[in-house]
Amino acid sequence: MRDFRAELEKRREQGLYRWRRQVETPQQPDMVVDGRPVLSFCSNDYLGLANDPDAIAAARDALPETGLGGGASHLICGHHSAHHRLEETLARFTGRESALFFSTGYMANMGVISALAGRGDTIFSDRLNHASLIDGCILSRATVKRYPHCDMTALEEQLATTDGHKLVVTDGVFSMDGDVAPLPEMAALCRKHDALLVVDDAHGFGCVGPEGRGSVAHFGLGSEDVPIVIGTLGKAFGTSGAFVAGSAMMVDYLVQKARTYIYTTAMPPAVALASCTSVRLVKQADDRREHLARLINRFRREAQALGYTLMPSDTPIQPILLGDAWSALALSKALEGRGIWVTAIRPPTVPEGESRLRVTFSASHTEAHLDKLLTALGEAQQELPGHAA
């Protein structure tokens, strides 16, 4: 029998053991975690909508109309008019003909990729794609070719030497690095080599592009350039669930083929109606995005002045690169001792030798919050010179 206990102990010895923290407040900068107050810089609630009173009111007011549970899968009796309304809202928001609402981002990526490619096909995947994209590629049973991160020369070489149905999948904004994929170049390569481009913009929607319409819109690309976009609602939108948007034909195809859509209970309809409100709030959130940009620019300037190594990112994801897992854990612990919560990110989430603190900003953060973070980083560096440099 496999020695599961030994595997757990090995993870502890390597500094890779993970544990859950108990949050006792809504998602917001000032939180209570494991009974202690902390200032959080590790949430994906980029626009501060997870605790927005309008979104909360929309969910509360919907409950008498929709009830609580989804009841069944969408193809049995679970497809509520609230879900349909959200799909129409998301289609307009993304500039696509149609959209399909999934229960989670992981399920969306798994379902879409495994539906669009199979045995005999080839998928081209960035080496730093999210785990859900990687697992979707594996589930599809297609041949998978991984290219170096954002290396368009390598991608073109792979595309040019491959026949048959080709699918290129990428994050729009990479979740652990915070950089943006070179989508114009990718779209051109896909047109040249007759490949279908799928962009997961989970971390782009809300933060990037005009009215927060994502990295595709940021580059001025349309549905002819990027036929399929995937997004999650649990990040900048502040609610829950995910979606894929594309042509009406493609969405109809996914309804028939995406197993993670077909064989799961529909999300609570009240969440769908709250998400409609969140989409409206995202479109109106230019002031929040401008505030985010100011925080990010100041953080980058002052953290680098302290001697920290940051990764090239203009998004709310601002990783501090440390290298080994123990250094990341040590800095995270030193910050938490000063009331600042930033999670250490270690392999296998990131490559070996690239452990980091993933600092994330929210429009709910203030300049005073940033003052506290920078002060704590300065003090922690003085205590841990071997780790933080």
Q: 62 by DSSP, 3-state: which?
A: helix
The answer to whether 130 is annotated as binding is yes
| Contact partners, residue 208, CB within 8 Å, separation at least 6 | 172, 173, 180, 201, 214, 215, 217, 218, 315
The answer to whether 246 is annotated as binding is no
Which amino acid does the sequence have at 211?
Answer: E
Rounded alpha-carbon distances, angstroms, from residue 174 to 52, 160, 170, 195, 225? 26, 25, 9, 21, 20
Q: 380 by DSSP, 3-state: which?
A: helix
Distance, CA of 42 to CA of 332 (rounded, Å) = 11
Distance, CA of 294 to CA of 339 (rounded, Å) = 23
Distance, CA of 29 to CA of 291 (rounded, Å) = 15
3 φ, ψ (degrees, to nearest 5)? -90, 85
Distance, CA of 316 to CA of 329 (rounded, Å) = 21
Residue 83 among the catalytic residues: no
Residue 10 among the catalytic residues: no
The C-alpha angle with vertex 310 and arms to 38 and 15, in degrees rounded to 5, equals 60
Strands in 36-40's sheet, in edge-to-edge order, are 30-33, 36-40, 340-341
The answer to whether 232 is annotated as binding is yes
Residue 203 among the catalytic residues: yes
Task: Exactly one of 98, 140, 175, 332 is catalytic; name it.
Answer: 175
The answer to whether 349 is annotated as binding is yes
Task: Exactly one of 74, 80, 166, 203 is catalytic; name it.
Answer: 203
The answer to whether 308 is annotated as binding is no
The answer to whether 18 is annotated as binding is yes
| Residues forming a β-bridge with 318 | 359
Neighbours of 77 (CB within 10 A): 11
Distance, CA of 325 to CA of 347 (rounded, Å) = 8
Task: Exactly one of 235, 365, 369, 387 is catalytic; name it.
Answer: 235
- Helix (H) / strand (E) containing 166: strand 166-171
Binding-site sequence positions for substrate: 18, 130, 349
Binding-site sequence positions: 18, 105-106, 130, 175, 203, 232, 349
Where in the sequence numbering do the catalytic residues fall?
Answer: 175, 203, 235
